[in-house]
A and B are shown apart, each in its own frame.
Chain A
Amino acid sequence: MFDKVSRRNYAVKMRDISFGQYYPQKSFVHRLDARAKFLLVVAYIVFIFFIDTFAGYAFAALCLCVPIVLSRVPLRLILKSLRAIVFLIVFTMALNVLFFRPQGVEEPLAAFWIVKIYGGGLMYAGKMAARLILLIVGPSLLTLTTSPMELTNAIESLLKPLSWIRFPTHELAMIMSIALSIIPTIMEETDKIVKAQKARCADFESGSLLKKAKALVPVLVPLFVSSFRRADELAMAMDSRCYHGGKGRTKLKILRYGWRDLAAAAAVLSFGFAVLVLRYNWFGFGFIQWLA
């Protein structure tokens, strides 16, 4: 467990980014307003759920290529975000294939023991996988092209209406922002404490679960103590830089919608429109469906 932490820690150290998977670049997609990007990704996810044919998925994938190319993020990184869910995809596919029962009459393609594999099951599993992939790639493009800070600002801004019902939007955003900046430090600290205790022959790997949990005490106590100390010092540093809540605060970066956002919104909406056309056979264009 800790080796993983430390390995990731070094990876983080080696990159110039603090957290998440942001890929700094100056592209059309990077320059979009974070709020717009966020909302458009939500819209995209909703539209994906309307698709139910392979042709539709192919169409969506084709459309998704446009922002990917525009973002100038290496394809490798996007595929990397898929790697995390390979297991999930395989698992869902397997379940679908194994437990698919046809509604009507369908001969199983193969059968052994109680397992029967139907053609319909394979189809369904394939669609499932396509949907999952599309659902992952879209949002990961968002996190790849938007820095955590921008994302925080976007969420703060989008939640602003909630402050009417006394929802602490500013505080929430502040907490997120501080968390983002302090996470690398805390990870480094964890790594250091683990090593210091290991140097005193602490054993984190062997023994029963209870023993392992107990072995964490010498790590968690110093970590808590130091986190509290850090929080205390940070609060003091903030205080001494005149922080007094969200009242009367101005901002360095004001989020503004621009022509890019308008263009992107138009593109996503037309994508959605096309999806709906395909799905509900509006204007009789549903003929493409039988391709699938």
Chain B
Amino acid sequence: MLFLICEYRFLKAMPAIVQLKNVSYAYRGETFVPAVKNVSLEIGEGVFAALCGQNGSGKSTLARLMNGLLTPDEGDVIIGGIPLGDEKKTETVNGVAMPYDKRLYEIRRSLGIVFQNPDNQTVAAVIEDDIAFGPENIGVPTAEIRERVDAALKSVGMSEYAERTASRLSGGQKQRIAIAGILALKPRVIVLDESTAMLDPKGRAEVLDTVRRLNRDEGITIVLITHFMEEAALADQIYVMNEGGICLSGGREIFWKERAKLREIGLKAPPAAELAERLRAAGVPVPEEVCSETELADALCFLPCAERKAENTAHNSQFTIHNAQLKDKDNAQCNGHFSLSQPVIDCPAKENSPAKKEKSVGELSDNAEFTMHNAQLKDGVINAERNGDEKNTTETVDCGLCTVDCKEKSEIVHCELCIVNCPPVIDMRELSFSYSPGTAFSADALKEVTLSVREGDFLGVIGHTGSGKSTLAQHLNGLIKMQTPTRRQRRRGVRQGTLHVFGMDLSQKKLKPNFSILNSQFSIPPGKLSGYKILRGLVGMVFQYPEYQLFDETVLKDVGFGPRNLGLPADEIAERCKWAIEAVGLDYGKIKDMSPFELSGGQKRRAAIAGVIAMKPKVLILDEPTAGLDPKGREEIMELILKIKAESCPTIVMISHDMDEIARRCNRILVLNGGRAEFDLPPAELYARHAERLTEIGLALPLAARLGRALNARGFGFPAGVCNEDEFVREAARLMDN
């Protein structure tokens, strides 16, 4: 007992491992920009802390202050009891005199930072050499370096990659290597400076799992800097930064207690908490403390009336009884698989015998179709309501698109008539493509993909990194030329595909422009331009991180690059630039003469998008348009895309990993897996009928679909086609009302 008390007191007396005392820092450039203002912060040993805030709120600066990459203007940084202090002074720590250098390296050794860009952290081409870099720097003996490297690789689960090179790894693996590189220094704290921002969901899950394990098993203190709130919700301690100061701190309770304040500074609660809030607003009594998906699913299950309802439905509907029985057996497993870090639900049926699995899947899909029907019917009603006096847009016969006016509708389900009447804008049949064909390194990127996109479509393309999404997209504007299969490929049965975009046949070496399109939609004198230029003018493409392609002296000139290349007259270029800059929501007068490099991150992205839409494309392809942005930025860009769709460019193809956005915005989803088009369906149908298959591929479902399935797994008769949050709220409310 006494011992315990002593230990307790010892723990109490032990200083926090990360201590910042009234730290301030300002960048000195042409102007004096204060980035961190009077921040005090203490993080205890072994804590998992999260630091969130908008872009530009000073998070990264704070991280850099923590290990002496930046020296604070005021205040002091104390890491593991060692103060960074003055550059010229020697300080005595625990009775040992330490000059500045020694303190600095000791601090950097015990607090490592994993940075944002996975590509910019490798020092050596071979992985083990890279991991050895840290220990080599601090003079660890050779034999011990070897031990440390092996241990570090093992900790991040990458042992088999020791002698490989980093360049071919995925982003998530690269970040794990970066973590290993820090682990080799035997640190006590690891700071992840937005290390998950540039990763795909799989990579994010990998990195988060790794750091959580390190925190749990090895007691390493983690400071996770992020603007994904669901990641922040994993932490014991959350700090929220705004304008250089810490404005909120505490546990997860801040997500419900300080919701207003979070919103004020442009942040949100985690998606599940946001959804819970909306459910409450719709009259579903979900408790406030719901923060994660599992909690939300639990909360919904334990609502008394919902449960009663579930029983009722079970009695009423044959299907639901089946469903409930089937699912009941796997309940426990299913619950276990529900965690935020792994948004993918493992299909519990996997562990069953194949025969049983088939049976259950068959029955499930029956059920799904049944509910699907319901959902469609309902959809019709809703759309009709929404469109008001417009033509009734769903049901079965008329989608309202068959007329010439195919625009200005965001939620479209094409009907049979429509398919006959509106020729597709993009018509791709059995397109195959492989990199370096005929060599040992040949790799198939696309396998017989058939796709047709009509005017007015908002096509979402989903799939893992490397599933062929970008290759597909780059075919559409001729950046990748179509391939004629080699003799060997022909023998393997690879056929020559076809691709027509706006009626132009892309299989031809010299692309012939389609003049009928040009006359009606393009105001440039044709003849001067090559077919590809015309194609690229019609099919605009916004690459991932488009801000990295800005180059000109002023924003105006940069935006005018595309129109200039199209050979438009000067006055039209000027007019289009003005229009495009204003269309993306930038202040034309203020920024037109600024250098694009002076803009903020979000503004740069907007300017880059303006550079594409200034060509007035009729199809806009966007590759991960919201990658790396904070929640507010993501929302703004999505709104911008919808606005562009409504105003100038009716057809959108969007590649994204954000399943919620895809499910909410798109009218069709193309699922690519290993270069093959698995599905091309409207979201409701896709998630109702093929959720299992998507899970098998390893693609996450949207939050609403995941919750719906979780509820069904617990015996609810939740309609299977529900895949966006609006519908989910509506359905949940309906369940409650009954």
Contacts and interface: CB of A to CB of B under 8 A. Distances in A.
B332 interface: no
A233 B120 CA distance: 6
Interface stretch (A39-47, A129-137, A200-208, A268-276): A200-208
A239 B69 contact: yes
A4 interface: no
Nearest to B614: A200
A180 B135 CA distance: 21
Contact of B142 (A19, A185, A250): A250
A19 B164 CA distance: 12
B126 interface: yes
Given A242-B109, A242-B137, A252 B132 contact: yes
A203 B565 contact: yes
A15 B139 contact: no
Interface stretch (A63-71, A95-103, A112-120, A216-224): A216-224
A200 B443 contact: no
Contacts of B479: 195, 198-199
Nearest to A180: B125
Q: Which of B135, B550, B551 has the most CB of A within 10 A?
A: B551
Interface string B110-145: 001101010111111110111011111111111001
A11 B436 contact: yes
A249 B139 contact: yes
A249 B540 CA distance: 52
Interface stretch (B301-309, B489-497, B541-549, B651-659): B541-549
Interface string B244-268: 0000000000000000000000000
B561 interface: yes
B520 interface: no
A7 interface: yes
A236 B115 contact: yes
Contact of B565 (A200, A230, A254): A200
B615 interface: yes
B137 to A, nearest CB: 4
A276 B546 CA distance: 63
A251 B142 contact: yes
Contact of A193 (B134, B533, B549): B549
A143 interface: no
B137 A16 contact: no
Given A11-B436, A240-B69, A201 B537 contact: yes
B117 A201 contact: no
B123 A248 contact: no
A181 B130 contact: yes
Given A149-B126, A184-B167, A244-B105, A237 B121 contact: yes
B137 A241 contact: yes
Interface in A229-288: 229-230, 233-234, 236-244, 248-254
Nearest to A248: B139
Contacts of A16: 164-165, 168
A25 to B, nearest CB: 12
B441 A201 contact: no
A16 B441 CA distance: 10
B140 A250 contact: yes
B549 A222 contact: yes
Report which residue of B119, B135, B541, B615 has the largest number of chain A beta carbons within 10 angstroms of its beta carbon. Answer: B119
Contacts of B138: 242, 248
A225 interface: yes
Contact of A195 (B163, B543, B561): B543
Interface string A1-33: 000000100111111111100001000000000
A92 interface: no
B176 interface: no
Contacts of B439: 11
A119 B612 CA distance: 66
A14 to B, nearest CB: 3
Contact of A199 (B120, B122, B540, B552): B540
Interface string A149-188: 1000000000000000000000000000110111011000
A198 to B, nearest CB: 6
Nearest to A226: B548
A239 B105 CA distance: 9
Interface residues of A, number: 61
B554 interface: no
B549 A241 contact: no
B182 A241 contact: yes
B47 interface: no
A229 B604 CA distance: 15
B166 A249 contact: no
A10 B435 contact: yes
A241 B543 contact: no
B185 interface: yes
Given A12-B167, A240-B67, A252-B142, A200 B113 contact: no
Nearest to B477: A199
Contacts of B533: 201, 203
B599 to A, nearest CB: 13
Given A222-B551, A236-B64, A250 B167 contact: no
A192 interface: yes
Nearest to B617: A199
A148 interface: yes
A251 B138 CA distance: 10
B343 interface: no
Given A181-B124, A222-B549, A234-B121, A241 B133 contact: yes
Interface string B692-707: 0000000000000000
B536 interface: yes
A21 to B, nearest CB: 13
A81 interface: no
B123 A177 contact: yes
A177 B561 CA distance: 37
Contacts of A248: 138-139
B476 to A, nearest CB: 10
B536 A198 contact: yes
A251 to B, nearest CB: 6
Nearest to B106: A242
B588 interface: no
Nearest to B108: A242
B125 A250 contact: no
Contacts of B443: 14
A185 B167 contact: yes
Contact of A249 (B125, B136, B543, B546): B136
B149 interface: yes
A24 B163 CA distance: 10
Contact of B551 (A149, A181, A217, A237): A217
A168 B276 CA distance: 62
B474 interface: yes
B181 interface: yes
Interface in A48-89: none
Contacts of B64: 236
B442 interface: yes
B611 interface: yes
Interface string B515-544: 000000000000000100100110011010
The 6 closest A-B pairs by CB, nearest first: A14-B441, A252-B132, A201-B565, A221-B551, A184-B167, A200-B562
Interface of B: 64, 67, 69, 101, 105, 108-109, 112-113, 115, 117, 119-126, 128-130, 132-142, 145-146, 149, 163-168, 178, 181-182, 185, 435-436, 439, 441-443, 474, 477, 479, 530, 533, 536-537, 540-541, 543, 546, 548-552, 561-562, 565-566, 597, 611-612, 615
Given A177-B124, A233-B120, A237-B123, 5 more contacts: A180-B125, A201-B562, A202-B565, A242-B185, A252-B149
Interface of A: 7, 10-19, 24, 147-149, 177-178, 180-182, 184-185, 189, 192-193, 195-203, 217-219, 221-222, 225-226, 229-230, 233-234, 236-244, 248-254
18 contacts: A10-B436, A16-B164, A147-B126, A148-B125, A181-B130, A182-B122, A185-B167, A199-B479, A200-B612, A203-B530, A203-B533, A236-B69, A240-B67, A240-B108, A242-B138, A250-B139, A252-B129, A252-B149
